[in-house]
Amino acid sequence: MTKEKIISPFAKKIYQLLKQVPSGYVTTYADLARAANCKAYRAVGQVLRNNPFAPTVPCHRVLASDGSLHGFKGLRTKESLELKMQLLKEEGLIFEGKKLKNFSERKWRF
DNA sequence: CATGTGACGCCTG
DNA sequence: CCAGGCGCCACAT
């Protein structure tokens, strides 16, 4: 019984892109979708929510297009967002309120 | 094959 | 400025 996880090509692409994002940099769902050859930012969230490669995949480096967080560990609770924010701070990022400072500069380019 | 879901994004109040 | 609602795409059942 080969327990090979059948991951959709789209999801695979997302993981591939996300894995190449270095520490101190962040990306957005829209950007990932764009780099994945699609505009389905929604699907990106779905894929990350499954997160079968965590913590291999730095899903905490994925933020919303406006620099705000949406969820982490498959949870949307304030605690999860706080933890995600904390992790990003540890990577050298600076948060101002609920949004990332210098978001444009911190955004990774594929 | 059809319907529902979802860690979004943008518009409007 | 903040909060809420609607729309879009891909995937799961």
pLDDT (average), residues A31-35: 94
- Residue A2 has what pLDDT? 57
Q: Is A71 exposed, middle or buried (0-12, 13-18, 19+ CB in 10 A)?
A: middle
Q: Is the CB of A76 under 7 A from strand C?
A: no
- Active-site residue list of A: 59
Residue A1 CA to nucleotide B10 C1', Å? 46
Q: Is the CB of A8 under 7 A from strand C?
A: yes
Residue located via tokens 């050298």? A92
More confident residue, A53 or A45: A45
pLDDT at residue A37 above 90?
A: no
pLDDT tens for residues A8-23?
999 999 999 999 999 9
- By DSSP bridging, strand A62-63 and strand A95-96 are unpaired
Q: Is the CB of A46 under 7 A from strand C?
A: yes
